[in-house]
Homo-oligomer: A and B are copies of this chain.
Amino acid sequence: MFELDQDTLVTCAADGIYSAHLSDRWSIGHVPNGGYLLAVVMSALRHALPAPDPLAINAHYLRPGTPGPAEVHVEVVKLGRRFSTAAARLVQGGKESLRVLATYGDLSAMEGPTFADAAPPQLGKPPREAPRREPGGMTIRERFDLELDPATTGFLRGERAEHAEIRGWLRFADGRPHDVHALGLIADAFPPAIFQKVEPGWVPTLELTVHVRARPRSPWLAGVFRTRIAQHGLIEEDGELWDQDGTLVAMSRQLALPPRPI
């Protein structure tokens, strides 16, 4: 079993209540990454809803999570013919750390007009060898092979760029194939784009929304993340994840606080 699937295992403890165990393998410092928390919640939603694909997922981050036992409480809001909606809470020690709202459907059963007025980031081919990992206390970095476009890595050398944009290739380090259930995690797994423009640090997410637009089929995903507006102590980060065949598989947007010292 792959790392992510081990670390997002849930068991149904009672009607609508799923037991989970938060791993310390997806942390930044000692705090589990927000995308990982979302992946645990989505693991419970996958059990609770009949439709196979998460289409729109919103997560509000209330408190940091902690490695150890957790529960996911799922309320099925609507079971529809085409779409099903659920709310979920991630709870540890009686306190809620994450509230999620999600609508699931079946991408293979839906059709309509098709166009793409956008293109994947120009990255060249993904690497043949596993990329070198940047050192640091982030265990989540060990879970992924991440090959950033060198044009967007100035932040690693203390440089500031004109645009807050980071792009690159990503795959799971243990070879786990991509699927729709991991896209919430991956949308939060790149370094924050604002690091290219503002001193890096801890970037607390208030809210993260992910739209899954296709089932990923390639070994690598191309990601591009941009922050365009910083004001009133808030930033947005817009993300796109593209398959190697040039299909958009997810769009993400989060509202976050600017970086603060870790």
In A99-156, which residues have CB < 8 Å from any B CB? Answer: 99, 101, 103, 107, 110-118
The answer to whether B103 and A56 have CB atoms under 8 Å apart is no
The answer to whether A231 and B211 have CB atoms under 8 Å apart is no
- Chain B residues positioned under 8 Å from A206 (CB to CB): 55-56, 83, 103
Q: What's the Cα separation between A229 and B113 when bound, in Å?
A: 10
Q: How many copies does the complex hold?
A: 2
- Chain B residues positioned under 8 Å from A255 (CB to CB): 55-56, 211
User: A56: nearest residue on chain B (CB-CB)?
Assistant: B207
- Whole-angstrom distance between the Cβ of A192 and the nearest chain B Cβ: 13
Question: Which one of B111, B114, B209, B236 lies within 8 Å of A58 (CB-CB)?
Answer: B209
In A229-262, which residues have CB < 8 Å from any B CB? Answer: 229-236, 247-248, 251, 253, 255, 257-258
The answer to whether A113 and B60 have CB atoms under 8 Å apart is no
Task: Assess A113 versus B58: contact at CB under 8 Å? Given A107-B232, A118-B228, A118-B229.
Answer: no
Q: What's the Cα separation between A55 and B258 when bound, in Å?
A: 15
The answer to whether A230 and B112 have CB atoms under 8 Å apart is yes
Q: What's the Cα separation between A55 and B114 when bound, in Å?
A: 33
Q: A15-35 interface mask toward B, CB cutoff 8 Å, 1 = contact, 0 = none?
A: 000000000000000000000
Q: What's the Cα separation between A121 and B113 when bound, in Å?
A: 27
The answer to whether B103 and A77 have CB atoms under 8 Å apart is no
The answer to whether B232 and A213 have CB atoms under 8 Å apart is yes
Query: Could you give 11 example pairs across A and B, Cβ below 8 Å?
Result: A87-B99, A103-B206, A103-B207, A113-B230, A114-B231, A118-B229, A213-B236, A229-B248, A231-B247, A236-B251, A253-B253
Known A56-B207, A207-B209, A211-B253; 17 more pairs at CB < 8 Å:
A55-B234, A58-B209, A62-B77, A62-B80, A77-B99, A83-B206, A87-B87, A110-B234, A111-B233, A112-B232, A112-B235, A113-B198, A116-B230, A117-B226, A211-B236, A214-B231, A214-B232
